[in-house]
Structure 1
Amino acid sequence: MSTRSSATPRASRLASVVLAAALAVALSACNQKSAAEQRAEAAQLRAKGDFRGALIVLKNALDAEPRSTDTRYQLAQVYLDLGDSTTAEKEARQALDRGYARGPALGALAAALVMEGQHQKALDETAGGPDDPGLSTARGDAYLALRRNDEARAAYEHVLGKRADDPAALVGLGRLAIVEGHADTAHGYADRVLARDPRNVDALMFKADLVRAGEHPEEALALYDRVLAVSPQHRTAHVEKAYLAIGLRKPQMAQAELDLAAKGAPGSLLVAYTQALLHYTTDKPDAARDVLYRVLKAVPDHMPSVLLAGAVDLKLGSNYQAEQHFRRYLERNPANVYARKMLAQALIGSGHGDEARTVLEPVLDARQADAEVLALAADANLKARRYDQAADLFARASALDGASATLRTGLGLARLGAGATDDAVRELQAATALDKRSPEAVEALVQANLRLGRRDAALDAALALEGAQPDRPLAHALKGQVLAAQGKADAARASFARALQLDPGYYRAAASLSQLALDANQPAQARQVLVDFLAKNKKSVAAMDGLATLAERTQDSAEVTRWLEQAAAVDPHAIGPGVDLCAHYLRTGRTDKALELARRLQVSHPENPDLLDLRGKAELAKGDLPAALESYKQLAQTLPRSAPALMQVAALRLVMNNTTQAEEDLKSVLAIQPDFPSAQLELAALYVRKGSHDLALMVAEHMQKQHPQGAAGYQLQGDILMAKHQPAPALAAFERASALHATNELAIKIDNALRQAGRAADADSRLAKWLAAHPDDVRVLAYRAQTWMGANDFKRAAVQLEDVLRRQPGNPVALNNLALCYQALGDTRAQATAEAALKVAPKRADVMDTLAWILVGKGDTARAVTLLREAQALAPKARDIRYHLAAALAASGDKAAARKELDGLLAGDMRFAQADEARKLMEKLKTGG
């Protein structure tokens, strides 16, 4: 009884739980809406402007009916409402693929592509689609964006022919009217839509755009607020309000609107772009670049983002990257003058003034050139030191904008460069007269007068600025600079101190005070000035860099590291301090730290050329040639017009013995910069290795034409002729090179050519004459010893080499050659000298070979074989080393291995010094000796 009674409550409780669960499931099933009902609910929410709510309901509908094309299409529409064009495109494609009506689905797809800026793609992918109003309107928008106005008009009018008051088509015609300069007509189209439907969001947005273009920002804001009253989640209205706020210099208002837009449409391309624009206008270029990197990764062809990315890179000083963005933009929009100006600015910044002028050429015509275009072209000529052309262009620009002190300043600098000093000073004085408060004009005038030695005039200009701006630090800093140049250190110090008093964060003044202390030979005081400045400006990277520079003067590496690490820590993502620290790590042999830092910084700066270069250098220092090659290939892709970057790639391919690709790279280098000397020399060397001596000579002749007063082309010609075994004409080329620029290398080459031509006496005489004029030329002294060794005069060579080693005790070549001389003379010092050479150069094959051959003579064949195998691995083509290995193996008793080495040796080129000995050894081994 007790058992039964204890079991019953548990059973009843379990039954209750099961019953409750079953009832919950049943009730849930009864209350579950169908997918069709959820789509209807989503449509109602969308009509009320609750796009996020509609999205949630549609996702539930998709869970209930995963293969529903209706749900996919509605999702595409809602994502378009939210500004998430990428996801809208995906949903529209899925609706199409699964059989939804082609007209509406293609219309959604076209609208998404237009939103992404892919206008031609929108037309291409929807060509031949059915007659659908939404599709026709979207195609009209694409035509309009591509400036194909007649086709846009036809598309909109086709829709209106079927639906006379279609709001989207009317708004499209309104936008077309704006493009064609008919603002009143555009207003008429907007008003026509709003008369029928005052809550039409598209018409309200268009009307707001119109009044904003008419410079009525407050009226535009009111219209955007009307949009938000109808559709609170309308992300474009928030974005447009943010645009207005950016233009009105109200960054806080702009950020608030963008936060609301992002909350309603977290994946919106437009929101992200506008956020980047806000960062750019509030001087946060790093943040802007991070946002744009994500935008362009998702939508590479969003042209507004491409243009903004160029402007951001330009502000960050990344001229090459900026150039690539502006070029991409101009490919799509060749008539955009702003992009053309920005491209020219980037080219000027990267030192390509000639190309900047070419870029500006289409807009330099007198009928259409504005002052800014002329000024940029002038600046390009100024950078290229074409001062007369620069002056002419600055003068034309000044004629268009006579009130610009900046243009008159440029004209003054151009006149100064052309040598017209009085005219230059007059122009700079005119610039300061136009704007007494212009720091650029006054500074240019002060610097010009200082350069001309007119220190009193420079002081007058600085004092005039001080009178106009007594509370600005620049005037006092300029006055201090002039006083310092006049030798009035105390007065200069007082001026710099006044500048710092006015602005405690004005680093220029602190740096000048520090320099004054250095000039007075007070390094401790120089350092203290910067330390005091840093105490008040704790995040001053410039001060930390200055302290690092002072530490470098005293070779205090630890102190340099400390300041550079502190500078880099101020902003771990900042490129400048990070690059400086990375370079310092490399200079001080901390390769792993350099590589780690470069890779970390690349996460936020993936295409920065300085980082790619430093990463490549670090990988080279670690001996990782394939990784270094990849880094420099990336660098060459990032800087496609940089000959030095591509030369790094070619040099690495040469080191890795990839001569075929290296040759192509070298040709590409010369296509970019035809007078790149190292590329010409390496290409000629490749031609010589291939036996294409005539091609190599063409390179040399080209160098001679480019630089008739340069020695390199004639020296190269001599090298090639020596490779062709033509010492007499080679000698003439070397002598021509030496007449232009005499070097010990040419002295050695002339000596060698004379000997090859059978003129040993002349060679001795010329070499003696060189050494009489250059008695301490160790290189030539060592070379003369080699010539005596070649003549078997080992005694005189040994004396010469001993003299060389007194001058350079650790010279491995001299030690090795002296060991050979001692060995030939039977001197017991041979092995010790060879051991010393190996200690200095443990990985040189020739040094290993010398010591091993001495060991063979002493009967230590085991160590000799070990050294010779290692030497052969380092220099597999050195036939004398292979012969020595065979001889050592034979001496050790391993005759089979010796014969194997000799078989391989005798099957190849037998033109080496000990070829006869090799043959004799083989005969001896064959006869069992």
Structure 2
Amino acid sequence: MRIRLVFAWVILALSAMPQSAQADGRADSMALFRKAYGRFKAGDVPAARVVLLNAIKADPHNAIAHVLQGRVYLALKDGVAAEAEFGRARDSGIAADDIRHLMANAYLLQDRPQDAIDEADPSHVPGRFAVWAARVRAMAQLSLDNDDAATAELNLALRLSPRNSAVWTDIGHFRIENGETAGAVDAADRAVALDPRNVEALLLKGQLVRTQYGLTAALPWFDRMLAIDPNNLDALLEKAATLGDIGRSRAMLATTRQVLAIRPGNPMAFYLQAVLAARARNWTLARSLLQRTDGKLDDLPATLLLAGAIEYQTGNYEQAIDKLARLVGMQPENMKARRLMGAAQWRQGDDASAIDTLRPIADRPDADTYTLTIVGRALERQGQRKDAALYLDRAAIPTRAEPSPLDVVADPRQLAALRAAAVANPGDTKTQIALIAALLRADQGAEALDVSQALLARNRGAPMAHVLVGDAYVATGNYAAAATAYRDAANISFTEPVALRLIDALRRAGNSAGAVEVLNLFLSQNPQDVPAQLLAADVMLSNGQWDKAINILESLRGRLGDRDAALLNNLAWAYFSAVRMDQALVYAGKAYDLAPANPAVGDTYGWILFQTGRDRQKGLALLRKAAGQSPRDAGVRWHLAQAYAATGAGAQAKAAAQAALALPGFQDRAKAEALIARY
């Protein structure tokens, strides 16, 4: 876990300096120290470091210069170098107790939490450093998952210094770790109000704004940090990542280069550049940039996912599986990792492993076509044709499935064990979530609602608690109540899963205008979000805004490639409706090549072929096939009726029109009745 600590500089008493301070070298050293301290206070940490190197060179025994240099390294997140400087300060005469809080922080940066706790023992830390030491102990206890001990230390720090911006910043980080997003927002607001120049508080606020409101809204907070500390690496890296997610690739690249100019070899900067190369599908460059991190980020989930994607895209399936297996072991609910790992296993010929990896996704109601197809083909190769047909038939379903209730791998067969565990551990949030997920998978919506409402009562500041209540309401068919729950979650954390759930619930509750309003708001903050863009394209298509739909879909095609049949099918329909027939035929044909068993794709291709006159016979055959594959799709039946009528096949036209009229949701009733009357 990455720990961020904010500390105010406290000048140690000059009486702690050795008597040799009057020597010429000492005088020069102290002059440089004062200059460095000014740079440090102004936020120019790199410059302070350089000046301090000269101060220490002038007098290697200048104890407070070593202390300040250690403080500089703390600001630069270099715990090893900081520890060395504090050790030299002790050797030069600084009392060990006067810098225990600093040394403890150096240990914490090295992921040595127990050493930090021991070093910052309150029995050895002077009272003037008690707040600082308590905060170090709190973050150390948090990293050891000792939440109660961490809470006690933070409460102590707050009692000692209730208006301390740094303490409130730590409280904010603690609340994030415990899922209390609303409480974290309150803590960050307090921290910024108490000290508007606290860059760590501003960083926390920016991160929370990004979650609460969106990417675009977060950028000004990182810029505020940089106005105070232009070389702050955390602010630059957060800004770079946010710019990349917004789609401002050039600005992202420029910002990462700024980081590398300040800190050559910074691994996170190279990682972000690798992400940028991967988005451009330049896998060779992405691998080269990722290698320049020198393995320093190899254990991070994001790095494992990127590395796995690079290996998969370059055909190194065994290496991809190795990296993705580590990630799935760390995060079993990571659906992206599962999809990629399962695809790599399938391409390597390991059908059994691919099925095991992908079934938790394939068995969900919102399983994607690609996953369903892989599981189906893998089962086919194992000779399980009956089971394979179930997945392949679902892969051919023309409509996009609604969002699944939870991105959690849950087994409804374990309900009895989960109920018992939940009763035995009512305060264990993870256990309660696992039970709710299993109940929803087992269609036990009423019980899921009871459990989720009880969880919400204990965790009103956690967006996930509101989401769970919304999911349970969806399961019981109460979409208006679900929308209210999702809106409460969105007010705390307006992320993609929350936004998509809210949009879906509003649509189902009959509030289409509200759904579009939420969609537009989300896209204004997250303009590159793929699911939201697909929804926006659907809205444009339904409103007849063909050119706008084309612009969105072409942009997505440029990013995702030509492997999504649904996207290509929608693009073909948009071009056809805009009377741009050549493009319509190209994309309809590509979509059909990818998904010939998908009746929506076959209907679009057949209708365009028939209407343009390019190949009416083939078009009619495709329309017949689509109607047979999806007999309850009124739109497909109506296309077939019109095609029959155009070829003079009156009886068939009448039968197809009557079939369309009998189906719910059919929109062209008057035209269909007129066609029937002709025959």
C-alpha separation between the residues in 1 aligned to 2:63 and 2:123?
13
Task: Provide the C-alpha distance between the structure 1 equivalents of 2:117 and 2:579, rounded to a whole number of angstroms.
Answer: 62
Give the aligned residue type for 2:400: K
Which residue of 235, 248, 260 corresponds with 1:284?
248
Residue 315 of structure 1 aligns with an amino acid whose one-letter code is R
Change (3 A) 1:68 1:253: farther
Residue 226 of structure 1 corresponds to which residue in structure 2?
190
CA-CA distance at 1:275 after TM superposition? 1.3
Contact 1:394/1:408, CA 8 A, preserved across alignment: no
Contact 1:353–1:380 (8 Å) recurs in 2:
yes
Question: Structure 2 residue aligned with 1:241, among 188, 195, 205?
Answer: 205
How far does the alpha carbon of each residue in 1:808-865 deviate from its partner, in whole angstroms, 9 at most, with x for none?
xxxxxxxxxxxxxxxxxxxxxxxxxxxxxxxxxxxxxxxxxxxxxxxxxxxxxxxxxx
1:397 aligned residue: 358
- Partner of 1:107 in structure 2? 67
Q: Is the 8 A contact 1:363 1:373 kept in 2?
A: yes
Paired residue secondary structure (2:69): helix
Partner of 1:409: 370
Give the Cα–Cα distance (whole angstroms) in 2 for the partners of residues 395 and 408 of structure 1.
17
Instruction: Please give the alpha-carbon distance, in whole angstroms, between the structure 1 residues aligned to 2:202 and 2:576.
Output: 44
Alignment of 1:152-551 (within 5 A): 152-157=116-121, 160-163=124-127, 166-327=130-291, 329=293, 331-362=295-326, 371-382=335-346, 385-387=347-349, 389-390=350-351, 392-399=353-360, 402-403=363-364, 405-406=366-367, 409-413=370-374, 415-416=376-377, 420=381, 426-431=390-395, 436-437=400-401, 498-500=573-575, 509=584, 512=587
Return 5+ residue gaps in structure 1 as ranges: 1-45, 49-65, 440-464, 479-492, 526-929
The TM-score, its normalising length taken from structure 2, stands at: 0.51
Q: Which residue matches 1:120?
A: 80
2:215–2:242 CA contact under 8 A, matched in 1: yes
SS in 1 for 2:295: helix
The equivalent residue for 1:85 is 45
Structure 1 pair 110/434, CA: closer, same or farther in 2 (3 Å)?
A: farther
Report SS of the residue matched to 2:264.
Answer: coil
Q: After superposition, what is the alpha-carbon deviation per residue over 1:271-322, rounded to whole angstroms, capped at 9, x for unaligned? A: 2112112202212233212211220232135444444343333323333343
SS in 2 for 1:436: coil
User: Offset of 1:431 from its aligned partner?
Assistant: 4.8
1:57-77 Cα deviation digits (max 9, x unpaired) = xxxxxxxxx975445435545
The CA deviation at 1:329 is 5.0
- String of CA shifts for 1:122-157, please: whole Å, max 9, x gaps: 445655541456754344333223322232223322
One-letter identity of the residue aligned with 1:223: A
Judged with a 3 Å threshold, the aligned counterparts in structure 2 of structure 1 residues 360 and 257 are, in CA distance, closer, same or farther, namely closer
- Cα drift, residue 252 of structure 1: 4.0
Deviation of the 1:187 alpha carbon:
2.5
Once the two structures are superposed, the pairs formed by residues 841-860 of structure 1 within 5 Å of their partners are none
Task: State which of 90, 106, 110 in structure 2 corresponds to 1:142.
Answer: 106
Taking a change above 3 Å as real, the CA distance of residues 436 and 360 of structure 1, as seen in their structure-2 partners, is closer
Rounded to whole Å, the distance in 1 between the matches of 2:181 and 2:360 is: 34
Residues 358 and 371 in structure 2, CA contact (< 8 A), matched pair in contact too: no
2-side partners of 1:367 and 1:83: how far apart? 38
Cα separation, 2, equivalents of 1:297 and 1:240? 25
Query: Match of 1:98?
Result: 58
Aligned counterparts of 1:501 and 1:67: Cα–Cα separation in 2: 82
**Matched AA of 1:436:** R
Question: Against the structure 1 CA distance between its residues 267 and 161, is the aligned structure 2 distance closer, same or farther, given a 3 Å change threshold?
Answer: closer
Can you list the C-alpha shifts for 1:873-922, whole angstroms capped at 9, x where unaligned?
xxxxxxxxxxxxxxxxxxxxxxxxxxxxxxxxxxxxxxxxxxxxxxxxxx
Q: Report the CA distance shift for 1:219/1:429 in structure 2 as closer, same or farther (over 3 A).
A: same
Residues 211 and 220 in structure 1, CA contact (< 8 A), matched pair in contact too: yes
- The 5 Å alignment of 1:571-720 reads none
Q: TM-score, normalised by structure 1?
A: 0.38
Distance change (3 Å), C-alpha of 1:405 and 1:93: same
- Measure how far apart 1:114 and its partner are: 3.6
Q: 1:428 to 1:250 in 2, by over 3 A?
A: same
Q: Distance in 1 between matches of 2:175 and 2:300?
A: 24
Give the AA of the match of 1:277: A
Task: Tell me the distance in 2 between the aligned counterparts of 1:261 and 1:367.
Answer: 33
Give the direction of change, closer, same or farther, for the CA distance of 1:317–1:161 in structure 2 (3 Å limit). same
Distance in 2 (alpha carbons) for counterparts of 1:407 and 1:355: 25
Q: CA RMSD in A?
A: 4.8
Amino acid paired to 1:396: T
**Is the Cα–Cα contact under 8 Å of residues 377 and 390 in structure 1 kept in the other structure?**
no
Count of aligned positions: 416
SS in 2 for 1:331: coil
**Contact persistence 1:83–1:269 (CA under 8 A):** no
CA contact (8 A) 1:375 1:407 kept: no
SS of 1:267 mapped into structure 2: coil
The alpha carbon displacement at 1:174 in A equals 0.7
Distance 1:147 1:329 in 2: 20
**AA at the equivalent of 2:374:** L
Deviations 1:551-608 (A, max 9, x none): xxxxxxxxxxxxxxxxxxxxxxxxxxxxxxxxxxxxxxxxxxxxxxxxxxxxxxxxxx
Cα 1:71–1:350, aligned 2, differ >3 Å: closer, same or farther? farther
Q: 2:70 corresponds to which letter in structure 1? A: A
| Alpha-carbon distance in structure 2 between the residues aligned to 1:351 and 1:239 | 39
How far apart, CA to CA, are the structure 1 residues paired with 2:580 and 2:271? 34
Percent identity between matched residues is 14
- Structural mapping, 1:33-48, within 5 Å: none
**Offset at residue 172 of structure 1 (A):** 0.9
Q: 1:75 to 1:153 in 2, by over 3 A?
A: farther
Report the CA distance shift for 1:496/1:245 in structure 2 as closer, same or farther (over 3 A): closer
Q: Give the CA deviation at 1:166.
A: 2.2
Give deviations 1:426-469, integer Å, cap 9, x for gaps: 32433566973489xxxxxxxxxxxxxxxxxxxxxxxxx999x8
For the 8 Å contact 1:116–1:301, the answer to whether it is kept is: no
Question: Residues 697-846 of structure 1 correspond to what in structure 2 (within 5 A)?
Answer: none
Conserved in 1, the CA contact under 8 Å of 2:44 and 2:229? yes
Check conservation: 1:314, 1:346, Cα contact below 8 A.
Answer: yes
Alignment CA distance shift 1:154-1:400 (3 Å): farther
Q: Offset at 1:177?
A: 1.1
Q: How far is the alpha carbon of 1:508 from its aligned partner?
A: 6.8
- Please state whether the residue corresponding to 1:403 is helix, strand or coil: coil
Are the counterparts in 1 of residues 74 and 82 from structure 2 also a CA contact under 8 Å? yes
Deviations 1:15-50 (CA, angstroms, capped at 9, x unpaired): xxxxxxxxxxxxxxxxxxxxxxxxxxxxxxx999xx
Once the two structures are superposed, what CA deviation does each residue of 1:228-278 show, in whole Å capped at 9, x if it has no partner? 333232222222211111122433432222232222222222221121122
Partner of 1:722: none
Cα distance in 1 for residues equivalent to 2:121 and 2:580: 63
Q: What CA distance in whole angstroms lies between the structure 1 residues aligned with 2:27 and 2:581? A: 66
